[in-house]
Amino acid sequence: MRSEPKAPVVQMGAGGANVFLLRGEGGNVLVDAGNPGQAERILGQMARLGVAPGDVRLILITHGHVDHFGSAAALRREIGAPVAIHALDAPALRQGIHHPDSLRPTSRLVALLQQLPLQATAGRAEGLEPDLTFEGEWRLDEYGVAARVLPTPGHTPGSTTVLLDSGEAVVGDMLTGFLRRPGPPIVAWDLERNRESLRHLLALSPHILYVGHGGPLSPSALQRLAMGA
């Protein structure tokens, strides 16, 4: 009996932001690392997929917000794989806290919510020195996955997207996808730059977009957001 092919992207819930496992012919790449204290949960989900810690060859952080890199240090210790992040967001990873300039609200409601003491993005994580920083586009072939990493600034200066050769895109917080309805990021360093990044990505014809919160999303539903409507 022929076995079913493995899905190239597996979305794992980590409590807060999504974490993604990219499964390639030559290895696995973990995209994002959840909030602080979630390493064991992520490792447990990997184990249920039949992926051992040593099977992961890279931990790639899409951007420098704590809910996406919070458990990176703990996962690096357990997995032993290098951690990569765009050079412009590397200071946040080193310090364990994101820069307030990247938390500008994109709506009045978010601006009001940011005043609440329970505001989730105010956390701090264990800082770490990234093993790999980058600025331009690069490929993941040496880590076993047929994909390229694209700088897609806007949500933060160093936000990035992973675009697999098979057409799946993991976009971090470029978009939200609550109830699978596309929306802009709730906060952004530069919302117009974010729209430019979205337009650039859509021009590359991805067939599905995996987002950090909610989703996934169909590209056909994103044209109005890309134009700022």
Say if CB 161 and CB 134 are below 8 A apart.
no
Q: Render pLDDT for 44-69 as a digit per residue (tens, 0 to 9).
A: 999 999 999 999 999 999 999 999 99
Assess if residue 133 is contained within a domain.
yes
Assess if residue 21 is contained within a domain.
yes
Counted domains in the chain:
1
Q: Which residues contact 66 (CB under 8 A, 6 or more apart)?
A: 35, 36, 96, 97, 98, 121, 123, 124, 125
Q: Which residues contact 1 (CB under 8 A, 6 or more apart)?
A: none
Assess if residue 111 is contained within a domain.
no
Is residue 29 within a helix (H) or strand (E), and if so which, with residue range?
strand 28-31
Give the domain extent around 87. Answer: 9-99+121-226
Kindly provide the b/e burial profile for residues 134-148, where b requires at least 16 CB atoms within 10 angstroms of the residue's own CB.
beeeeebeebbbebb
Q: Render pLDDT for 104-129 as a digit per residue (tens, 0 to 9).
A: 888 765 555 555 444 444 579 999 99
**Which CATH number do you get for residue 200?**
3.60.15.10
Assess if residue 34 is contained within a domain.
yes
Rg (CA), the chain: 16
Assess if residue 87 is contained within a domain.
yes
Assess if residue 3 is contained within a domain.
no
Q: pLDDT of the chain along its 229 residues, tens only?
A: 455 567 899 999 766 799 999 999 999 999 999 999 999 999 999 999 999 999 999 999 999 999 999 999 999 999 999 999 999 999 999 999 988 888 888 876 555 555 544 444 457 999 999 999 999 999 999 999 999 999 999 999 999 999 999 999 999 999 998 887 888 999 999 999 999 999 999 999 999 999 999 989 999 888 777 777 5
Assess if residue 106 is contained within a domain.
no
Cα–Cα distances in angstroms (integers) from residue 23 to residues 15, 115, 166, 175, 229, in the given order:
22, 40, 12, 23, 35
Assess if residue 2 is contained within a domain.
no
